[in-house]
Structure 1
Amino acid sequence: MPSARFQTRQTIAAALRALGVPRGGVLLVHSSLSSIGWVSGGSVAVVQALLDVLGPDGTLVVPSLTTPNRDPSRWDPPPPESWWQDIRDSLPGFDPAITPSSNVGVITEQVRTWPGAVRSVHPQTSFAALGPRAAELMAGHRPDCHYGEESPLARLEKAGAWTLLLGVGFCRTTAFHLAEYRIPGAGTRTYGCAVLDADGERRWIEYQDVSLDDGDFALLGADFERAAGHVIARGLVGTASCRLFPIADAAAYAEKWLAAHR
């Protein structure tokens, strides 16, 4: 019998079922492969397990962010200022078919490149999905709406989707970003990135959107768990601590919390 530190497609699927991942549902996953322990088959086995549990009628979604595609003045750490304009002039334009996701883990990149995956077209904060509702949920992601009402995140909320934190904390909860758009008078800022136009020509664009800030999401998540723990399922997948909860509940709580704390 494999130990908690040795996982397979079958043991991961069993743990996900025990946690309550809904068969036939829509699931947004934030993940860390290394947190699970040693997985026979790595990220492929994890994606297979997720699809096994969701079944043929379920839809798997991941955030396929492209954080390097932004103004170099906002990189951490930023490159020398003398390089900034050259970077703006030369960064490859976002292409949903080939631009890799970044800083979101290998499970996400495995989903993005999986046969049949559909990706939204936002040049910085795209999502990728597998399943019968993938195209519907990924459609119409406006460039000036990272995580608001014209993004897949709002569509996931309306679809009754769940968030699974698989070995990561509340600081990764994109559902909280949806609430940032619903705070009256939310501040905005200028974003910049490289895109491809309808003719395939690369260009640099700038646009206004809500000023996103996840710096207090860990604290927000801890308060959400204390106040609304009844909607959060907790468990282990291998050695990974996991939480499962409805996106709608997380966004509703975050909207009140952010209004009070920011």
Structure 2
Amino acid sequence: MDQPSPHTAQSLASDLRALGVASGDVLLLHSSNRSLGFVVGGTQAVVQALLDVLGPEGTLVVPTHTPENTDPAGWQHPPVPEAWWPAIREQAPGFEPSCTPSRWMGVIAEAVRMWPGALRSDHPQVSFAALGMNAAGIVGGHQLDDALGETSPLGAVYRLNGKVLLLGCGYNSNTSLHLAEWRQKSPPRAVTGSSVRQPDGTSQWTTWVDIVADESDFDRLGADFEAAGAAVIGQVGGATAQLMSQPVLVDFATAWMSANRLPKHSVSKKPLASGEAPVLASS
């Protein structure tokens, strides 16, 4: 029995084009590297395939979140002793876009973060990295108290009529759905905090209030979105992939949440973050 050919940068690029990724696109990627199967050249070849398809006028965007840079009082997986909390808050080195690694975002996202020419937003919990023509405009001006809202990279992708690609992962990894949360009327808010690097190289524990992220119903939302025929589903390498318009997705999700979520009105003093992640993580 003949063995199947291995996946390559060229074959992945062909799969991406067949799915609908096009030159000049702004593409927000969530990915599971292992879902692709064996790729000649590994993660480097995957990123190269994406960049080849997007071309010099396209832009590749990935989440590079740092959920460990959150208030230890809210950590659950695992929790840490309360006696440790002051040291964690006071001694954490502080988020530095150029060198702080992402966590739980996957090796493809981390490869993009480290790719020559990549730019990264400076939010200490939910940064994004971008490569390409619109990178600076997407990652610039990421405000602490609008982590996943209109002024965030998600909002920038929306205004640029970008696309979302789920590569071997589900809607619980679809960070753009959080932009719909930020668009709800009076969404619940909470205090959160992170260690933030200062211009003089020191670190300072900083707190702010932002909207509470909740992805518990994202899979159900995604199923309804796909049932409406709004996503293109196909194969990229060994992975099942879903490609969709980010504005269409966010508009659908905004209406869906308004109809399906009970209103919650609160400002909690409890931290927003958990020990796993304050937002979605790609595998």
Give how far 1:71 is off.
0.7
Matching residue of 1:173:
174
Please give the per-residue CA displacement for 1:23-79, whole angstroms capped at 9, x wherever unaligned: 111000000110000111111000000001001111100011011100112222211
Q: Under a length normalisation based on structure 2, what TM-score does the superposition of the two structures give?
A: 0.89
Q: Does 1:224 align with 2:219?
A: no
Q: Residues 194-242 of structure 1, C-alpha deviation per residue, up to 9 Å, x if partnerless?
A: 0112322211001000011111111111111112x1x311101121010
SS state at 1:68 partner: coil
Q: Which amino acid aligns with 2:156?
A: R
Q: Which amino acid aligns with 2:164?
A: T
CA distance in 1 between partners of 2:44 and 2:51 (Å): 11
Higher RCO structure, 1 or 2 (CA under 8 Å, sep 6+): 2
| Matched residue, 1:149 | 150
Alignment correspondent of 1:29: 29
Q: Quote the Cα distance in structure 1 between the aligned partners of 2:170 and 2:22.
A: 21
Q: Superposed, which structure 2 residues align to 1:4-153 within 5 Å?
A: 6-75=6-75, 76-153=77-154
Q: CA deviation digits over 1:85-120, x for unaligned, max 9?
A: 211111110000000011010000000000000001
User: Share of identical aligned residues, percent?
Assistant: 49
Assess, with a 3 A threshold, how the Cα gap between structure 1 residues 198 and 224 changes in structure 2: closer, same or farther. same
Secondary structure of 2:89's match?
Answer: helix
Mapped partners of 2:158, 2:142: distance in 1: 15
Match of 1:241 in 2: 240
Distance 2:4 2:27 in 1: 27
Q: Which residue identity lines up with residue 15 of structure 1 in the other structure?
A: D
Tell me the CA shift for residue 250 of structure 1. Answer: 0.8
Unmatched 5+ stretches in structure 2 = 262-283
Following TM superposition, by how much is the alpha carbon of 1:261 offset from its aligned partner in structure 2, in angstroms? Answer: 1.7
CA distance in 2, matches of 1:180, 1:109: 26
How many Å separate the matches in 2 of 1:101 and 1:155?
A: 21
Distance 2:34 2:179 in 1: 28
Q: Where in structure 1 are there 5+ consecutive unaligned residues?
A: none
Give the Cα–Cα distance (whole angstroms) in 1 for the partners of residues 260 and 92 of structure 2: 37
SS across alignment from 1:39: coil
Q: Deviations over 1:111-157 (max 9, x none)?
A: 00000000011110000000011111111000111100111110100
Equivalent AA in structure 1 for residue 96 of structure 2: D
Aligned counterpart, 1:185: 186
RMSD of equivalent CA atoms: 1.2
Letter in 2 for 1:154: G
Residues 225 and 231, structure 2, Cα contact 8 Å, conserved in 1: no
Q: Which residue pairs with 2:278 in the alignment?
A: none
Q: 2-side partners of 1:2 and 1:194: how far apart?
A: 51
Where 1:122 maps in the other structure, the secondary structure is: coil
11-20 or 81-90, which moves further after superposition? 81-90
